Amino acid sequence: MIAIISPHADERAHLAALCASRQLDNTVCDSLFALKALLRRVSPRVILTRQHLGDGQSEDVISALTSAGPLAPTHIVVLIQADAPAPIEARHIALGADLVQRDPVQPEVLVEYLEKYHRASRRSRLSPNRGAPLPKPIPFAGGLMHFNEHRLQNGSRTLRLSPREVTLVELLLQSRGALITYDTLYSEILARRFDGDTSNLRVLLGKLVRSTQRIGLSLRPWIEVIPKTGYRYCPPAPTSDLPADSAA
């Protein structure tokens, strides 16, 4: 998801349309306060923000992102006025901005950067080095996940997962004991906003559970489903006898 923060309604609408033209899922915020509320529910892949906000500055946006502890690396694009001093631009880069664009913004250039950062964040989610490949298998639910091959392994038994199953595994591993909300799950897997209906994710989780069973893994005890809120992935307690239902 791309989060767009601007105090100007016309600019928010224009930037949202720019993202939609490339089928990039996005949401808009009219203030720093609205962004902080968003960060409690979802970790955007990209944040596109105006320098001056009604209740803060773009530096506050970067600080809020750091304080929120996002689950995945987030790229930051800042739009500044044409006559802004060079030290302002340099300061944003020093604070962590990936790109600073001066007015007038060139839409064709901006959307290329947004799409580039959106893809880069997707690749870097599970790698300690942003954009680096994942050559080694990663432990998952008692087995090993080979992301480069979309393959899950349990001993000598393996199977290939669907792209959406792989993305769900990525997100579960990314959370590593923390709650991952339906807002994030729907944005990252289905590229749309969560409207309160969990059925699509319930079906996908059920499919992944059945896939793991085919190679002798029991995934369901690893997944805590918090009704209407999201999932939490963590090792099952040694002595627990968790139910196998998948109510969401």
The rounded distance, in Å, linking the Cα atoms of 99 and 111 is 12
pLDDT for 62-93, tens place per residue? 988 877 654 556 889 999 999 999 999 999 99
pLDDT at 202 over 80: yes
Backbone angles phi, psi at 206, to 5 degrees: -60, -40
**What span, in angstroms and rounded, lies between the C-alpha atoms of 113 and 119?**
10
Residue type, 122: R
Report d(CA 77, CA 118) in Å as an integer. 11
Does 192 or 73 have the greater pLDDT score?
Answer: 192
* Mean pLDDT, all residues of the chain: 85
pLDDT at 61 over 60: yes
Residues 77 and 98: beta-carbon distance below 8 Å: yes
Res 197 pLDDT > 80: yes
